[in-house]
Every structure is written in structure tokens, then in C-alpha cells.
Amino acid sequence: MRGAMLSRLILVLVLVVAVVLTVRSLRGCRADGPVEGDQPPAVAQADEPGTREPEAEEPVKVIEVAAPEAPADKEPPEEETPPGEEKTEAEPSAEKQAEPDDAEKPAVDPPEAPAAEELPAAPEDVEKAFEQAKKMLELKNRWEARRPLTTVYRFGAPEQRAEAKKLLDEINAALIFTPSETEGAVIHKVKKGENLTTIARKNGVYVQHIKRINKLQRDLIRPNQLLKIIPGQPSIEVDKSSLTLTLYLDGVYVKEYSVGTGKQDGTPEGEFIIERMVRNPDWYPPEGGVVKFGSPEHEIGTRWMGFKEKPGLRSYGIHGTNDPATIGKESTRGCVRLRNEDVEELYDLVREGTPVKIYKRANAGGD
């Protein structure tokens, strides 16, 4: 009897084990996710994206959240200017240029330019220079031909000087005063963020030089724009005997202008330095007082290039005029006078520190 009971007990245990194994086998094969009520442990959700804790079997993913951009039309607040101080503007970019007054200021502090080079004046040297220039012109080398032609202009006989001047004026009208002609020039390609002031500084010229050479009416330039620049040290010679002023660049002729000089030989001779340059200047006559620019009594025109004072010589310089009929005559109180359109062009091509030599040709070793 005991044997029968033991057999039944063993059969029951076998059945129980079989049922347990069958249930576990069914759970291990499930592929459609956890059944309802059989969820994995909950993971806390962060308030901000990118901070959810990943499950153990998955790689960590980092989500970057971009900061919101400021509205494009909102300008940053302007800084307050301390009392008693002038407000200064930030340097403009290539799209927005400096105000016209900036063109008055030197882009660089250049060393004093040398006077036009003294060259041999012997007739055979002048003839040799003329022949050299003609050969260069035959080879289309106009830029280099200007130097020997300058020798002829400065030291030749009157007919030689006249012929050299005609050739030089034709060459310079193209190579200096025509933006599209690039022979001998520096061509600057405007970069993003540049303006005329920064370009002038890089090339040792003034802003007005770049505007004059490129015939720019405004200060606005654009990236990739090509600008023509003629670098070099300017110098001026005034010949009282012919009532002319000649501009040189690195000792080479640029242009000759008719001038008025002092009555009764009143313009002092010697070497001077341009110390101060003023656009639309007020006039301070010798008898005292001040005549504002634009007044009918104003005599010195649209530009003033004042000389550095020397013992016994004060308030001399180069300026314009309100009376073009006085040009080509001894008509001034001692200064050198040009037509307004000429003095404006000259003003744009020189700088503070430019040397000026005033003489009569008979005293200069010429013809």
C-alpha cells in the first residue's frame, strides 16, 4: 500500500515540474514586447530634451540644443558716452564707408618726401634721355618712358621741354588719371570688411588719392571691386619765371598747372614743407580778422595747403581762388594760387609732408 502512495506522489511531482518548464519556455520566446502588466522599470523623464537616461543595452545619444538666435532687426544698445567726451563711430565696413571728413586725415604718417631728383643738365644728356624715351615708347613701355621724358622736361631747351610735356601729359592722362589703365599701377582687390581708410593705410596714400584716381564720387566700395593706386612720394616745384607749378611722383612728372604768384615778386623762394591741409578753409587776411568760407570777400578758394613756418616766413601756402582771371599773373599777397578745379586735384594727390621748391628757372640751372 505504501508503494502505491509513493508512486502517486512521484507522478504528481513530475506533472508539476512539466507545467513549470512549459510556462517558462513560452515566456522566453515572446517577441511582441511585454504584455500588459509586465512592464519594465520606469525611467524618470527630464524636463529638457537630451537628458533622458538611456537603457542599459542601448548606446548613449547626446542631443545638442541650439541657442535661440537674436532677432535680425534688433540692434544692440548703444553705449553711453561719458560726459565731456565726444562720441566716436566704429570704423565702417566695405559696405558703409567713413564720413567725408575722414578723407582729410592722413591715412599714414609718411616720411617727408624727397624733392624731385636733380639730374644732369648737359645738352648731350638731354638728347640721350629723349632718344631713350622714344625707344621705350616704340616698345609700348609708357610707364618707364616717363622718367627720361621728365629729364627733358626739366632740363631741355624750350622746344624740347614743350614736346616732352605734350608726351607726358598724354601718357599720364591714361596711366594715372584713367581707372581702366593699369600699367605701372598697384591694383587692390577689395576684401570683405575693408574700407577706403584701411586700404589707403595699407598703400601709403590718402583716401582722396584713391577716390581721385578711380573717379569715385562716394566713399562706398564693394568686396571684389578693383581699385587702382599710384604709390610714391609726391613733390612740387613752382617756377616763378613761367608761373607754373609742377607735381612729381618719385621724381617723375605728373602734371603742370598754371598759377598766380606774389605781386612785385612777393612769393618767397626756397624749399618748404606742406604742414597743414584744409578743405573749404576760412581765410585769415594779413590785416586781421577772419573771412568765412563762402563769403563774397573770401579769396583763397576751396583748398589750403599751408607751409611749415620758417624764420621770417609765416602764413604762406598753396590755395585756390575766387578770381580765375588772376591765374598766370603776379597777383597774390605772396602765396601760390591755382584755379579751384586745379587746386582740388592737386590736394587729392599730395599729402602733409610734401616738399615744395620755389624758384626762378634762371636760378635753377635750366635753359
Known catalytic residues?
Answer: 319, 335
**In the block, which residue shows the cell 578770381?**
323
Alpha-carbon dihedral angle through residues 336, 337, 341, 347, given to the nearest 10 degrees: 30
Are the CB atoms for 233 and 249 separated by under 8 Å? Answer: yes
Q: What is the DSSP string of 96-148?
A: SPPPGGGGGS-SS-PPPPPPPPP----HHHHHHHHHHHHHHHHTT-HHHHHHH
Q: Which residues contact 268 (CB under 8 A, 6 or more apart)?
A: 313, 316, 334, 358
Report the distance separating Cα 283 and Cα 172, nearest Å. 33
Angle at 207 between CA 233 and CA 103, to 5 degrees: 120
Question: What would the grid cell of residue 122 be?
Answer: 648737359
Q: Which residues contact 242 (CB under 8 A, 6 or more apart)?
A: 361
Instruction: Report phi then psi at 283, rounded to 5.
Output: -115, 135
Report the distance separating Cα 176 and Cα 214, nearest Å. 9
**In the block, which residue shows the cell 625707344?**
135
Report the distance separating Cα 199 and Cα 94, nearest Å. 10
Q: How many helices (H) and strands (E) does the chain have?
A: 7, 12
Question: What would the grid cell of residue 262 be?
Answer: 606774389
Q: b vs e for 146-165, b when ≥16 Cβ sit within 10 Å of the residue's Cβ? A: bbbbbbbbbbbeeebbebbb
Q: Which among 337, 269, 256, 327 is positioned nearest to 303, based on CA atoms?
A: 337
